[in-house]
Amino acid sequence: MKLSEFKFELPENLVAQHPAKNRDESRLMVLHRDSGKIEHRSFKDILEYFDEGDVFVVNDTKVFPARMYGNKEKTGAQIEVFLLRELNTEIHLWDVLVDPARKIRVGNKLYFGESDMVAEVIDNTTSRGRTIKFLYDGPQEDFYKALYSLGETPIPKEFITRDTEAADKERYQTIYASNIGAVAAPSAGLHFTKEVMKRLEIKGIEVAPVTLHIGLGTFRTVDVEDLTKHKMDSENFVVPGTTAVVVNKALDTKKRVCAIGTTAMRAMESSVSAHVRLKANEGWTDRFIFPPYDFKIANALLTNFHTPESTLMMMASAFAGHDLLIEAYKLAIKEKYRFFSYGDAMLII
């Protein structure tokens, strides 16, 4: 398929700038792949579509406060430093983005807040990318504590145009987040509350975790018309053996396996055995899923409404069928569904 087939006009006022008052009170559009039927529900209704023995596969990655602000030595110019990933824990080497990049050269030092945290620029990686080394002498635990105290919640500023607020620290995080390492939240999971999780348990629906640490590549612009030429950034993932057992039991007994978000789906599709079952696995994946695609594990997908020409929209299209997804998006705009990370949800079954 071509990039232009995922283009549509998204009114700016439909990009959610804040989450719903309560997580589980977002709207839920339900797409039935076999009949093409589209329903308008509330997220709280999601349990009506699942039964005992079905499985929800969630991404338990935890977002860390990746956006920091430092000052350049001598000039004092403010520089935004966006932490992407740690390259070496012993010497505190990090892959980062800087803005404005033109002011930051190899050898420059950056000073953060009123603290003693200082970083030196070691290398240029891309136009905005840098490798920096934090000059910190002390226990690892103290380093992370100091580093994260300086950062703020990395809500995606390209679409959420307001300033970060205190509430984002809690709301831009799933309630089951446990493995720190993401710079963006798995947004489909943001709708779950403790009450919904308890109702899942009572109904006999199992929740099985995978981990995929989301990087900024999730939001990277696709700039080639031929999608086969687009290269995804690699992201670190883990599929535990216990999750593989639970999912495979559900598949063997013809139950539903629902990927909670495109990142949970990517992790599973990167861990398929020769017998077309989920296998325990860990490593890096750059799998790019777009139509046509034969999904091997999950037979249901919960996702949010995505921005035009995004890789997330492309995966949803591959799962729902392109024509049905485009019809659903047109209807979502007409019905004023909220888009993006803090927006409404779509269940594809």
pLDDT digits (tens, 9 = 90+) for 33-78: 999 999 999 999 999 999 999 999 999 999 999 999 999 988 889 9
Q: Where are the domains of the chain?
A: 3-63+170-348, 67-152
Peptide bond into 11 cis (omega under 30): no
What average pLDDT score do residues 299-322 get? 97
Note the pLDDT tens digit of each residue in 129-174.
999 999 998 899 999 999 999 999 999 988 999 999 999 999 999 9
Note the pLDDT tens digit of each residue in 89-125.
999 999 999 999 988 999 999 999 877 899 999 999 8
* pLDDT given for residue 216 in this prediction: 81
* pLDDT given for residue 185 in this prediction: 97
* pLDDT given for residue 127 in this prediction: 83
Note the pLDDT tens digit of each residue in 217-237.
777 889 999 999 999 989 999
* pLDDT given for residue 113 in this prediction: 81
* pLDDT given for residue 74 in this prediction: 85
What average pLDDT score do residues 278-288 get? 97
* pLDDT given for residue 331 in this prediction: 98
Counting residues of the chain whose pLDDT is more than 90, the rounded percentage is: 90
- The one-letter amino acid at 108: N
Architecture of domain 67-152 in CATH? Beta Barrel (2.40)
* pLDDT given for residue 252 in this prediction: 98
**For the CA atoms of 173, 144, 152, 83, what is the dihedral angle to 10 degrees?**
-90
* pLDDT given for residue 198 in this prediction: 98
What average pLDDT score do residues 290-294 get? 97
Choose between 274 and 218: higher pLDDT.
274
* pLDDT given for residue 219 in this prediction: 75
The topology (CATH level 3) of 3-63+170-348 is QueA-like (3.40.1780)
Reported as type and span, the H/E element at residue 236 is strand 235-239
Note the pLDDT tens digit of each residue in 186-217.
999 999 999 999 999 999 999 999 999 999 87
* pLDDT given for residue 131 in this prediction: 96
Residue 53: phi, psi to the nearest 5?
A: 95, -15
- The one-letter amino acid at 310: S
CB-based contact 38:31 (threshold 8 Å): yes
**Angle, CA of 85, 117 and 237, to the nearest 5°:** 15
Report the relative pairing of strands 118-124 and 129-134 from DSSP bridges: antiparallel
pLDDT at 12 over 80: yes
Please give the Cα distance from 150 to 117 (Å, whole number): 9
